[in-house]
Amino acid sequence: MFRKYIHGKAATPAFAFVMLMGVVSLFADMTHEGARSLYGAYLPLLGASATAIGFVTGFGELVGYALRLLTGVIANKTKKYWSMTLIGYGINVVAIPFLALVPENGWILACMLIIMERTGKAIRQPAKNTLLSFAATQVGVGKAFAVQEFLDQLGAFLGPVILFAVLWFKGGGNPLAGYAMCFAVLAIPALLTMIVLFQARHRFPNPESFEKEEDKEKPFTARRSFIMYIVAISCFALGFVDFPLITMHVAKLDILPASTLPLLYAGAMIVDAFAALFFGWLFDRVRFKALLLSGLLAAFFAVFIFAVNSLWGVVIGIILWGVGMGAQESILKAAVVTLSPKDSRSVSFGLFESCFGLSWFLGSWLMGWLYDFHPVWLVAFSVGTQLLALPLYAAIHFKDDTLQG
């Protein structure tokens, strides 16, 4: 499948590196996305309110993204891409198993571990994306990030499914004990993440060699497009609801048993994975038109989830949410590579992800607050802010056409 997808380039060292880092992401996402599928039901049992969940998950994203501007600058200055990747992944995946030790009413401690996990991601993400971008220029930027996202989301699918099986086999009893068992099980993919990552470092110590040096800097018009792009993705992130609020709402509606909530997240992740493959393929052909299409599709997910209040509405909303996530983790990153030169790409990734995270934090906090008043206010804010990104994507598309011409 992957050989056909990249049109005969599957055997190249660059694509082998993309695939190996994809396996790292697969195991890492089994760990932290598996845990993430439980937060919405887990934190209330420890005493957290909807506003607290919205704040903590949003603040976690703020830390996980805002610090990337600093870590991006550090990676760009030091060129220690592998060191930062290894340290970041270590913190990222180790924090999750410790959730198994959180006592009753210990929601503050649980939130600290969640934020710690996001901090690890902040340390490794600009460096890891930069390493991947070097290989991506050889296999197709959209394709490389899409394949990476496909494997990433395959892990995000498998993690919640495994936790569902753990909860199902455990049966009834103390819900907190069941969640503790789930977090303990996630220590296995956490260990596999680090094993494969060290193998990737051993096989490809200098991924920078995949990409040829550019003859000249990106023109000023491309830099202006990048700033416009930052504004656009900030609007998108501001209105994109974090999944714990979704699972909390579904649990409140009582239209699904609590034990099936990990499957809901797993479904979103599998949609994300295949959406990433499609939109990555599309990006290499029509470039920023792919952002317009994905943004339009994703903008209305909140209507179905928070306004329809039925199982079919939730299913449609989750599908659209998955499309938005697929775009976020694949073509949004591919666009950064397109709009920035090699020698400053870590800074570009850091700026992109920091602005995205700040907007995600503010939006998650505000939408949690709006939900406590009435879900309709959350819906209006979510749809409106995401639609604001579309004319900016269109403007970038026309500038991009001019540059290509």
Q: What digits encode the pLDDT tens for the residues 233-255?
A: 899 989 988 887 888 888 888 77
CB 394, CB 291: distance < 8 Å: no
Of 373, 250, 261, 375, nearest in space to 310 by CA: 250
Measured between its terminal Cα atoms, the distance across the chain in Å is 33
Cα gap 251→261, rounded to integer Å: 8
- What pTM, to 2 d.p., does this model score? 0.74
Q: Sort 227 into a burial class: Cβ within 10 Å, 0-12 / 13-18 / 19+.
A: exposed
Token duo for residue 73:
């600058």
Q: Give the tens place of pLDDT for each residue, 371-400.
A: 888 889 999 999 999 999 899 888 887 765
- Dihedral angle, C-alpha 206, 223, 282, 4, nearest 10 °: -20
Give the count of alpha carbons within 13 A of 13, CB side only.
Answer: 11
CA distance 351 to 230: 8
Q: Which residues contact 152 (CB under 8 A, 6 or more apart)?
A: 22, 25, 26, 28, 29, 273, 329
Q: Span 95-101, mean pLDDT?
A: 89
Q: How far apart are CA 177 and CA 348, in angstroms?
A: 43
Residue 155 in contact with residue 30, Cβ under 8 Å?
A: yes
With 90 as the cut, is the pLDDT of residue 330 above it? no
Q: For residue 11, what pLDDT is reported?
A: 55
pLDDT of residue 140: 79
What's the pLDDT at 231?
92
Smallest CA-to-CA distance from 229 within 52, 345, 394 is with 394
Q: Tell me the pLDDT tens digit for each residue of 223-233.
A: 778 888 899 98
Please report, for residues 42, 87, 248, the alpha-carbon distance to residue 177 in angstroms, rounded to integers and kept in the order given: 11, 30, 19
Q: Using an 8 Å Cβ cutoff, are 290 and 195 in contact?
A: no
Least confident of 207-216, 304-313, 344-353: 207-216
Backbone torsion region of residue 340, taken as left when φ is above 0, otherwise alpha when ψ lies between -120 and 50, otherwise beta = beta
Q: Residue 402 — very low, low, confident or very high, per pLDDT cuts 50/70/90?
A: very low
> Which tokens belong to 22?
């994809």
Most confident of the ranges 213-227, 296-310, 331-345: 296-310
- CA torsion sign for 390, 66, 85, 162 is negative
Q: What is the mean pLDDT of residues 188-206?
A: 92
What is the dihedral angle through the alpha carbons of 8, 14, 19, 23, rounded to the nearest 10 degrees?
180
Alpha-carbon torsion (86, 155, 142, 70), positive or negative: negative
Short-list 250, 204, 275, 245, CA closest to 366: 245
State mean pLDDT over 160-170.
84
* pLDDT (0 to 100) of residue 189: 94
Two structure tokens written together for 382: 């979510």
Would you place residue 82 in the very low, low, confident or very high pLDDT band (cuts 50, 70, 90)? very high
